[in-house]
A and B are shown apart, each in its own frame.
Chain A
Amino acid sequence: MPQVRIIAKNFMDMVASLPAIKLDRLYENAFICEAILRSLPPLAKKYVLQLLYIDAPVTASSLQEWVLVDGASKHRVAVDRLIQLRVFTETVDRKKEASYKLNSMFQMNLRKHIVHGGVLPREPMAANITVRLPSLEELDSYASQQWECFLLHLINSAEVEVTTKSISPSMMKVFQRGLLSQRDNEGPRLTESGFQFLLMDTNAQLWYIVREYISNSEDRGVDSADLISFLLELSFHVTGEAYNMNTLSDIQRTTVKDLADLGLIKLQQGRKDSWFIPTKLATNLSISLSDASSRKQGYVVVETNFRLYAYSTSKLHCEILRLFARVEYQLPNLIVGSITKENLYKAFSNGITADQASIILFLQQNAHPRVAERVPSVPENVTDQVRLWESDLNRVEMTPAHFFDDFPSRDVFEAACDFAREYSSLLWEDSKKMRLIVKTEIYAHMKDFLSHQK
């Protein structure tokens, strides 16, 4: 679970974790500077703007003077972030006083932006060359359809190998890494994080996939810094405009094809040229999750009798519900199911949790607009029961342990107990019969300790 939770945060964390040389090279691209600036906390943005036309280093103490006492913690967060992203370079002089200076490349690019205004990464194609561009609604529905298709693929390949749409198998492998596990004699199965993944909202899922895609890029012979810069550049394109494929490099062209499979981009072929049209998924890429304005309308109604009605025509929704509920019947625009103990047990054994991350949150986030207005959008008795069923399974906790007895003297026994307590690994002791149980982790230390005692 932890690995899934981290990714939901930010794309920029990943950029910050790049090695210094690569990061410096990224700043040569003006769009990246812009995207990075926008991702910063508000206070950090202010600092960058204030220092933009100051060439000399500014001491930390004078920077601190801009802030009121209440803002000290925010100030520290902002400065740390700037240093982490190498936007600020820190120098410490002889008197141990730190001073900061803006990254010169970054500074130059932003100055240019401020004087000349924003520019588009590349010019859209003239309307007379492109035959017929899809409208924004068509593009949106194309994007969500493509994305759903990808998710369906993910679920289905866990059961049967179906090739409805052509997603290249090598890409599929990349995306499935970590989400699917392959055992020798069985087919691929969704892992714990795979189940969690399916219940996340689209934006979070997108981050996860893009992250996987980037971290895998080195294996495919693509520099991850190049890829990041291309993806960020992509987010500055205008949704729904056509851009010529000839303006791309070879690597970018293959990337574009992969992204088209995910619905980030729509490819079209004209008589002579071919072009790509970014969809909303692509242009939202650099917006951090907190601004997710693309929240979709919910469709699930849960009743107090554990019945579940989902107003949806999507096969994907049906499959997702099937992960934790019994689907009873399906009408053209309605899926009817019920939440049962058996199905939840199955879900829990697959690693889905009831609370924060998964089932209940999913039901709340996807609540039908009619019930979403109510204060608990999912009836309390249902949420409570789901939690109870989960805790039913966790009644016994297993801890690998080792058992010691036959101590030569009470002193040795007491010393051993204290030793184990120091490591907070003492699970049980019986001072009368001089027996104790410790966790496996410290078994080796314990043995050492006891042999020294003799």
Chain B
Amino acid sequence: MTPVSSKQYADDVSLLMVLIDTNPLFWSSTTTPFSFSKFLSQVLSFLNSILLLNQLNQVVVIATGFNSCDYIYDSSLGHANQRAEALLQKLEEFVIKDEELNKEDSVDGIGSSLLSGSLSMALCYIQRVFRSGSLHPQPRILCLHGSQDGPGQYVAIMNSIFSAQRSMVPIDSCVIGSQHSAFLQQASYITGGVYLKPQQLDGMFQYLTTVFATDLHSRSFLQLPKPVGVDFRASCFCHKNTIDMGYICSVCLSIFCKHHKKCSTCG
């Protein structure tokens, strides 16, 4: 006998958390192949297409700034029309606020965005959805990231990755910068998401819809990009440098680049 309430949501209902990199240092640098506005227009179309696919789909956008991060759009709150306007307005407010924070105290990691913060925010949101009731869409996280990794965030990011893995939330990553991101490679590898560094950024929308619009149910029978190689290097806890070889505390597994007599983490 099957219980009546066994399955009331279709397989492809998804909750997509999109993390957008708004780091001004990245977007203003000359190596960036295309402008922020062009990028945004493609992402907006992508969000529209996700919401088009199913009336129960939900999209939440989190801006990953230089000093802070914040929710800038939640499709469950607003009306269907003026989606783009609402998002852009919130985004502008966010960017201004982010810039103000910068004047007060500058962060040591130059040129990296606060990915760990936005990942944790996304996971918090997902946890809230999980707890809201037995009926919930299938969540996944998509990182649209450009700026380079900040080794200082290593521990925080790894912690978010493991908690995503525990709650079975895949982290997809689409790297728009010129270099591969070791953090995101690991994130996608560990959580079973897709890691992609598009070759031609002009066709961003096509990449997004072809690869990242795939719901979790369909992923089991579609060809998706496979990881070529994952950079598993860790950062040391003492100087936040990325290292190939180092020392590990036998008790708490903290990583150090130099030999210490006493572990600074567990003592």
Contact = CB atoms under 8 A, between A and B. Distances in A.
Given A113-B52, A292-B8, A43 B209 contact: no
A79 interface: no
A67 B223 contact: yes
A67 B218 CA distance: 10
Interface stretch (A45-53, A174-182, A207-215, A217-225): A45-53
A117 B81 contact: yes
A117 B87 CA distance: 12
Interface in B82-99: 82-84
Contacts of A71: 220-222
B45 A49 contact: no
Contacts of B178: none
Interface string A64-80: 01111011001100000
A435 B29 CA distance: 98
Nearest to B206: A53
Nearest to B44: A117
B42 to A, nearest CB: 11
Given A53-B206, A118-B80, A38 B55 contact: yes
Contacts of A68: 220-223
B218 A118 contact: no
Interface string A298-340: 0000000000000000000000000000000000000000000
Nearest to A286: B55
A76 to B, nearest CB: 12
Interface string A222-245: 000000000000000010000000
Interface string B30-64: 00000000000000110011011111100000000
B53 A53 contact: no
Nearest to A298: B4
Contacts of A66: 222-223
B213 interface: yes
A67 B55 contact: no
Nearest to B11: A42
A49 B8 contact: no
A425 B213 CA distance: 55
Given A68-B222, A120-B81, A49 B49 contact: yes
Interface string B3-44: 011011111110000000000000000000000000000001
B43 to A, nearest CB: 12
A375 B206 contact: no
B106 interface: no
A295 B206 CA distance: 38
B8 A118 contact: no
Contact of B45 (A37, A75, A114): A114
B233 interface: no
A364 interface: yes
Contacts of B209: 49-50, 52
Contacts of B44: 117
A283 to B, nearest CB: 9
Contacts of B13: 291
A335 B72 CA distance: 52
Contacts of B55: 38, 286-287
B70 interface: no
B53 A118 contact: no
B210 A50 contact: yes
8 contacts: A67-B221, A67-B222, A68-B221, A68-B222, A75-B221, A117-B84, A118-B80, A293-B9
4 shortest interchain CB distances as A-B pairs: A71-B221, A118-B80, A42-B12, A117-B83
Given A46-B214, A117-B44, A290-B10, 9 more contacts: A37-B53, A38-B52, A43-B218, A49-B49, A67-B223, A238-B79, A291-B8, A293-B135, A372-B4
